[in-house]
Structure 1
């Protein structure tokens, strides 16, 4: 009888863990601390003159998405939108933003710029 009880407890724990892992990989839960509010979309002043796609590694959740968008939005003349499932940020620009500016914005954040391409 005790073997059945222990088995049920272990099975319940595995079920809870599986549910959390599912949510984690679908960006529905926070792995980086407490849930942060959604970042408001940055409005650019002036016409968009270019767009770059930044491939980024290290993003795992909605908090990561918010943080990367905030870091890239701090670049003057740039606004970012992150696609967490593709591990990419699309950066729209009202001026020519260099790849070095993008790398510098994310430097020390724990996220790695894998590649930057013009869109």
Structure 2
């Protein structure tokens, strides 16, 4: 009896493993739905840097792929008067704004997108104005 039960359990475990692997391949299961179509990028109409007198640099945790970058950029670019560019390698977002935005607003927008802001620093344009 034991000679039959053990091979049956091993066979069921193998079948379940193959089933899970095939399901993962079909439906995705990696970072941010890597097997799904990429997130569509929100394009900013005004890309003239001189129109954005304020600049803030955010350090963001939790981004692992280009879909993560697009999600953060889209969340920030949906704000009125904002042009954000995110770099995955440095985990930083350069946020250019036409009006001053509070640190809390920027943190909240990134958090709603599913990521964490580790630090907020004034960018080069704001640093020049302070001097």
| TM bracket, shorter-chain basis | 0.5 to 0.7
Summarize the alignment of residues 54-73 of structure 1 with structure 2, pairs less than 5 Å apart. 54-73=58-77
Query: Mean Cα displacement is larger for which, 40-49 or 108-117?
Result: 40-49
Distance 2:58 2:39 in 1: 23
Q: Does 1:107 align with 2:111?
A: yes
Summarize the alignment of residues 34-73 of structure 1 with structure 2, pairs less than 5 Å apart. 34-37=36-39, 39-44=41-46, 47-73=51-77
Query: Mean Cα displacement is larger for which, 40-49 or 65-74?
Result: 40-49
RMSD, aligned α-carbons: 2.0
Q: Which ranges of structure 2 fall in alignment gaps of 5 or more residues?
A: 1-29, 124-131
Summarize the alignment of residues 1-119 of structure 1 with structure 2, pairs less than 5 Å apart. 31-33=31-33, 34-37=36-39, 39-44=41-46, 47-119=51-123
C-alpha deviations, 1:38-74, integer Å up to 9, x for none? 5143133882111110000000001000000000112
Tell me the SS of whatever aligns to 1:107.
helix
Distance 2:101 2:84 in 1: 12
Moved over 2 A (4+): 43-46, 107-110
**Aligned pair count?**
90
Over alpha carbons, which structure has the higher Rg?
A: 2
Q: Identify, as 1 or 2, the structure richer in helix.
A: 2
